[in-house]
Structure 1
Amino acid sequence: MTEKVFLVGVGMTKFEKPESRDWHYWDMAKEAGEAALADAGIGYDLVEQAAVGYCHQQSTAGQRAVYTIGLSGVPVYNVNNNCATGSTALMMARQFVAGGLNDCVLALGFEQMSKGALGGGAGAGGFAASPVARHYGVMAARHGFEATPPTAQIFGNAAREHMERHGTTAEQLALVGVKNHRHSTANPRAQFRDEYSLEEVLGARTIHAPLTKLQCSPTSDGGAAAVVASERFVREHRLEERAVEIVAQAMTTDTEESFASGSCIDVVGKPMSREAGRAVFEQSGLGIEDVDVIELHDCFSINELLTYEALGMCPDGAAGKLVAEGATTYGGRWVVNPSGGLISKGHPLGATGLAQCAELVWQLRGEADGRQVPGARVGLAHNIGLGGAAVVTMLRR
Structure 2
Amino acid sequence: MTDYRRLRVALLGAGAVGSQVASLLLRHGDELADRAGARLELAGIAVRDVDAPRDVDLPRELFTTDAETLITGADIVIELMGGIEPARSHILLGLGSGADVVTANKALLATRGPEIFDAASRVGASVYYEAAAAGAIPIIRPLRDSLAGDRVVRIMGIVNGTTNYILDRMDGEGADFADVLADAQRLGYAEADPTADVEGYDAAQKAAILASLAFHTAVPLEAVHREGITTITADMIEEAREAGFVIKLLAVCERLGNGGDESISVRVYPALVPRDHPLGAVHGANNAVFVEAEAAGSLMFYGAGAGGVQTASAVLGDVVSAARRHIAGGTGVGESTRANLPVVSIGHVLTRYQITLEVADEAGVLATIAGLLSDGDVSVATLVQTVIPAEDGADGETARLIIGTHRATDDALSAAVDRLAASDVVERVVSVLRVEGE
- Same structural fold, with TM-score higher than 0.5 when normalized by the shorter chain: no
Structure 1 or 2: more strand by fraction: 2
- Return the TM-score normalized by structure 2: 0.26
* TM-score normalized with structure 1 length: 0.28
Higher relative contact order (CA 8 A, sep 6+): 1
